[in-house]
Amino acid sequence: MGVQHGSSRSQLISDGSVVYAEALWDHVTMDDQELGFKAGDVIEVVDASNKEWWWGRIMDSEGWFPASFVRLRVNQDEPMEEYLAHLEEAQAGEEDRASLGILLGPGLPCKEQMRTNVINEIMSTERDYIKHLKDICEGYIKQCRKRTDMFNEEQLRTIFGNIEEIYRFQRKFLKGLEKKFNKEKPHLSEIGCCFLEHQTDFQIYSEYCNNHPNACVQLSKLMKVNKYVFFFEACRLLQKMIDISLDGFLLTPVQKICKYPLQLAELLKYTNPQHRDYKDVEAALNAMKNVARLINERKRRLENIDKIAQWQSSIEDWEGEDILSRSSDLIFSGELTKLSQPQAKSQQRMFFLFDHQMVYCKKDLLRRDMLYYKGRMDMDHMEVIDLEDGKEKDFNITVKNALKLRSLSGDEVHLLCAKKPEQKQRWLRAFADERRQVQHDRETGFSLTEVQKKQAMLNACKSHPAGKPKAVTRPYYDFLLRQKHPSLPTALPQQQVFMLAEPKRKASTFWHNIGRLTPFKK
């Protein structure tokens, strides 16, 4: 899988080597001690001594993130660019070549050895994956079909989705890869065409990934009944499968489709532009990125709706329709000074920009972790105007780092001021992102079902029983904020993603704690 053992990983970091990981999955967080990122982002790993939570850095942001959401690069141990530069300088100097030691295999130039590593990893993970799929289809589905007293076809379709179709396709795909794989000289393999030939076939993963949350729900219901627990365990033992729960096995296709672009990006990096495979790998990378992007985005959005519903239920004095009735994504959030006509009174407010709308709240004077609903703006009918520092004619005041939101009908005008010019620029980008998101959803036909909206709000209500205060204060919270290395997060990530060897986790109460509901970090 390209991930080193914990000891060698920690050793690398303590030796002062820069260790990079690539995000397999979006990590959206409302906790200011955690590092948020999107799939494909590159993270510098600073501390990997804990098995589940690592400390990392992206640009100027630092924080904890779940180790299971990333993978270390295959050619992790070698800072490639430095060594290649060293090689060029050295030309054919034997002494300099010798100093590259571990990098140079018997007679293989550095970049070709790297390409060999990536090709070998693609082939081995593909073979492992086929075994996973075979075990699910023959070890579980086959046995379940024999027990008509325990399962009907509809249940099996919900639990396993179209995994049999995926298994049939992946066998065909692996055959194609094996034909193009050069066993003697792996770096000469030309596998880009295999991905291009099957790029439309990979779209069957969309159905599987969209069904996956339903599979988890159905499975968790059955696992409350002992006879199903024993039955599934018997299936696993009979098939001689590794000790992972069924929901762990069912996650592999979701992982796999997200991993292809990362592998192809790495392959392209170590493929010379003159290589016969270069153009095909480049095209394959773009094709697989598009497939993974759509699937990943949809999955992320569906998983985030629970967090959004819980966020709404934590806000005091909420008015009007639920956020989820029109929105499903928090684009950006932060504090701004707001002036609105006609009163033009200056107010400090927390703003939360979602697709289609922006909500603003007031912080409690004594309990800064408590927010009061104050209003919202309909972004479908607003234009965003970037203001120069100086006199603003509508409000007749001097402004700095300001922008204006004006309704298309002209009857609503809001002036928003940031503390710093870079914060204002970040907000302008966020408003542009929101419009792009709305357009993209329109083009791809993304929307939440009424059932999904209702279920999310129901879950959020359960997490705030009547009569209990919504905000939960945490001792030492402010103290921890001042620490260079705060204590590890007390809860595990909400989804069990990419941690196949881990046992099933209990549902997290992490997001129920309004004391930690600070804005998403981007």
Taking 70 as the threshold, does the pLDDT of residue 99 lie above it? no
445-473 average pLDDT score: 68
Q: What are the structure tokens assigned to 151, written together? A: 């399962």
pLDDT value of position 472: 36
Percent of the chain with pLDDT over 90: 48
Residue 287 · residue 268 · CB < 8 Å:
no
Q: What are the structure tokens assigned to 474, written together? A: 């945490």
The pairing of strands 347-354 and 357-363 is antiparallel
Q: How many angstroms separate the Cα of 448 from the Cα of each of 182, 301, 384, 452? A: 46, 9, 27, 6
pLDDT value of position 304: 86
Average pLDDT, the chain: 80
In angstroms, rounded to a whole number, what is the distance separating the alpha carbons of residues 288 and 455? 32
DSSP 79-94: -HHHHHHHHHHHTT-H
Q: Name the pLDDT band for 301 (thresholds 50, 70, 90).
A: confident
How open is the CA angle 145-148-153, to the nearest 5 degrees?
Answer: 60
Taking 70 as the threshold, does the pLDDT of residue 502 lie above it? no
Using left for φ > 0, alpha for ψ between -120 and 50, and beta otherwise, residue 171 falls in alpha
Q: How many angstroms separate the Cα of 302 from the Cα of each of 163, 215, 328, 342, 500? A: 20, 14, 8, 39, 21
In angstroms, rounded to a whole number, what is the distance separating the alpha carbons of residues 338 and 318? 19
Cis geometry, peptide bond prior to residue 503 (ω within 30 degrees of 0): no
127-140 average pLDDT score: 94
Q: Write the DSSP symbol of residue 136.
A: I
Q: What are the structure tokens assigned to 374, written together? A: 């104050």
The full set of domains in the chain, from first to last, is 12-72 (2.30.30.40), 111-303 (1.20.900.10), 320-462 (2.30.29.30)
Residue 381 · residue 413 · CB < 8 Å:
no
245-269 average pLDDT score: 89
In angstroms, rounded to a whole number, what is the distance separating the alpha carbons of residues 352 and 348? 13
SS3 26: coil
Q: Name the pLDDT band for 481 (thresholds 50, 70, 90).
A: very low
The residue behind tokens 């002209």 is: 410
480-496 average pLDDT score: 39
Taking 90 as the threshold, does the pLDDT of residue 179 lie above it? yes
In b/e form, how buried is each residue of 52-73, taking b as 16+ CB within 10 angstroms?
Answer: ebbbbebeeeebbbbbbbbbbb
At 519, give phi and psi (nearest 5°): -60, 155
In angstroms, rounded to a whole number, what is the distance separating the alpha carbons of residues 369 and 473? 8
In angstroms, rounded to a whole number, what is the distance separating the alpha carbons of residues 288 and 40? 13
At 307, give phi and psi (nearest 5°): -65, -40
pLDDT value of position 465: 54
Taking 50 as the threshold, does the pLDDT of residue 201 lie above it? yes
pLDDT value of position 275: 94
Cα torsion through 389, 522, 371, 306, rounded to 10: 140
pLDDT value of position 16: 61
CB atoms within 10 A of CB 86: 16
pLDDT value of position 509: 38
The answer to which of 130-139, 220-229, 390-399, 402-411 has the lowest mean pLDDT is 390-399
pLDDT value of position 75: 66
With CA atoms as reference, report the closest residue to 54 among 40, 38, 42, 43: 43
281-293 average pLDDT score: 90
